[in-house]
A and B are shown apart, each in its own frame.
Chain A
């Protein structure tokens, strides 16, 4: 019996990385005790323990899996002082310079995250990246022999949730078809304002009737607040800023949406894109970071610096071209099925057994 515990910087009830750790936990428990620890667990999270309660003296062999997504001095100190074999799962860290002008403290933590990863390099016995792009990022800071594996990724995890009645009513009341959906944090590199400007062009310049729903935690609330204010000043109809939602509410939106759209300039994998694909929703995104790898042939990839004009026209193209819409939808279902947890869990467990 071997203990295999997972360590995260932060943990949230609906957070993508916490969900990945939860998926892996059930497989890891076939080897022995397996718990999830985080330095900053959200108060409502009950299945993740605080890092300070990490067992000091293991009675048997032990492996620590670290999910890297940001910097934290306490987590780093813990990992540095740990004598257990350390496995890294790299989900990428947002480039600090993108936060510099908005939140210098967060930028400092992100910078610290990259530095910590460099220092940990010698201690890591197995490096896993959840996309080719993330593997390339690790290589740039000296990591070698990186395994690309979408460990714990479950694109269809929302299918089991029933639609939320209140959300269904809200959408019936406040939106018109077709619904364009964005799911992601309110952060500077996600560029939600480009989507608001796109909705402005669609409704005011092109004469389309569309709705746009923006969903995600307010990492930097002023980003969405400013986009919302722009929508108000430009009198853009049909823009819904819904904040962080429950799984049932999110599943309702995916069932209703016609197109998933993101103007993000930096993604390590982009789980919401995979979730959208699993619901048969075509994707429109920029050809940036991991997005081309994740999307493949399941949507429209616009140039890296595409503005609202191109986004608006891409929406029109998908709405007016049902054959293309259907093609992307079918391909999305096929691609997302390739990420099945059963397949990745087996590969992941083989890798972990290799460390034992």
Chain B
């Protein structure tokens, strides 16, 4: 099964140092540039003093991604299949106008356009035949995916997840209240 929510190298947070390029600081008003320096220095201080343990940001990021993996119901393969079908459809939108005739060279551009006009009947004929074939192929693939989806849904009881955003919202309110209660309990214990 294709794994989802893989950590992306580009997502890696800048947990080592906070260094704005000098050019960025120079274009900011002094007050803002000073604030940015203070922010950077305070983070550094907290790291040195141990307030922020080494690798804290990476740890938090890994924690989130682990949770995210759990939220991907086993429909990744189905999504991937549908993605492939979408991609196929986008690639089968045949039209003579998709054939690039533009060129930075004006003479070449003229020749390309002239050739396109001269062979327009033949091009359309070929495209029509390909379109008929791909329509049939598209129908077939669609039927296969629908049947597979029905079978998978029945197996996993996905009806439970049909209104996920609503579930998320209800959960958010409930969990937030829980957090506040926990905080109140913690505070009362400290007192």
Q: Is A148 an interface residue (CB 8 A)?
A: no
Q: Is B129 an interface residue (CB 8 A)?
A: no
**Hey, which chain B residues are within 8 Å of A305, CB to CB?**
12-14
Cβ A309 vs Cβ B82 within 8 A: no
Given contact pairs A174-B180, A300-B36, A308-B60, A223 touches B98 in the complex (Cβ within 8 A): no
Cβ B90 vs Cβ A115 within 8 A: yes
Cβ B90 vs Cβ A306 within 8 A: no
**Is chain A's binding surface mostly helix, strand, loop or mixed?**
helix
Cβ A205 vs Cβ B52 within 8 A: yes
- Give the interface segment out of A26-34, A126-134, A229-237: A229-237
B124 to chain A, nearest CB (A): 14
Q: Is B175 an interface residue (CB 8 A)?
A: yes
Can you name 16 extra interface pairs (CB under 8 A) apart from A108-B86, A111-B90, A112-B90?
A: A191-B11, A194-B13, A218-B168, A226-B67, A229-B71, A233-B63, A234-B63, A235-B183, A240-B172, A243-B168, A287-B24, A297-B32, A300-B39, A309-B15, A316-B42, A317-B35
Mask of B24-54 contacts with A, CB within 8 angstroms, 1/0: 1000110110011011101100110001100
In the complex the two chains form, what is the Cα distance from A104 to B164 in whole Å?
19
**Hey, which chain A residues are within 8 Å of B20, CB to CB?**
303
Query: Which residue of the partner chain A has the closest CB to B180?
Result: A237
Mask of A62-97 contacts with B, CB within 8 angstroms, 1/0: 000000000101001100100000000000000000
Given contact pairs A232-B178, A308-B60, A309-B46, A73 touches B93 in the complex (Cβ within 8 A): yes
Given contact pairs A104-B80, A239-B179, A297 touches B57 in the complex (Cβ within 8 A): no
Cβ A107 vs Cβ B83 within 8 A: yes
Given contact pairs A108-B90, A218-B164, A308 touches B57 in the complex (Cβ within 8 A): yes
In the complex the two chains form, what is the Cα distance from A307 to B86 in whole Å?
35
Q: Is A310 an interface residue (CB 8 A)?
A: yes
Cβ A218 vs Cβ B57 within 8 A: no
**Hey, which chain B residues are within 8 Å of A225, CB to CB?**
71, 164, 168, 171
Please give the residue numbers on chain A whose beta carbons come within 8 Å of chain B beta carbons, in ascending order.
Answer: 71, 73, 76-77, 80, 98, 101-109, 111-112, 115, 119, 121-122, 142, 174, 191, 193-194, 196-197, 200-201, 205-206, 218, 221-243, 265, 287, 297, 300-310, 313-314, 316-317, 321, 323-324, 327
Cβ A309 vs Cβ B57 within 8 A: yes
Cβ B14 vs Cβ A306 within 8 A: yes
A251 to chain B, nearest CB (A): 20
A-facing residues in B167-183 (Cβ within 8 Å): 168-169, 171-172, 175-180, 182-183
**Hey, which chain A residues are within 8 Å of B28, CB to CB?**
297
Given contact pairs A222-B72, A303-B20, A205 touches B51 in the complex (Cβ within 8 A): yes
**Hey, which chain A residues are within 8 Å of B111, CB to CB?**
none
**Hey, which chain B residues are within 8 Å of A230, CB to CB?**
60, 63-64, 67
Query: Which residue of the partner chain B has the closest CB to A315?
Result: B39
A321 to chain B, nearest CB (A): 7
B177 to chain A, nearest CB (A): 7
Q: Is B149 an interface residue (CB 8 A)?
A: no
**Hey, which chain A residues are within 8 Å of B68, CB to CB?**
222-223, 226
In the complex the two chains form, what is the Cα distance from A76 to B98 in whole Å?
11
Cβ B90 vs Cβ A71 within 8 A: yes
Which residue from A106, A222, A228 sits with its C-beta under 8 Å from B171? A228
In the complex the two chains form, what is the Cα distance from A317 to B43 in whole Å?
11
Cβ B43 vs Cβ A313 within 8 A: yes
**Hey, which chain A residues are within 8 Å of B95, CB to CB?**
80
In the complex the two chains form, what is the Cα distance from A326 to B40 in whole Å?
21
Given contact pairs A228-B175, A309-B46, A313-B43, A222 touches B71 in the complex (Cβ within 8 A): yes
Q: Is B87 an interface residue (CB 8 A)?
A: yes
Q: Is B79 an interface residue (CB 8 A)?
A: yes
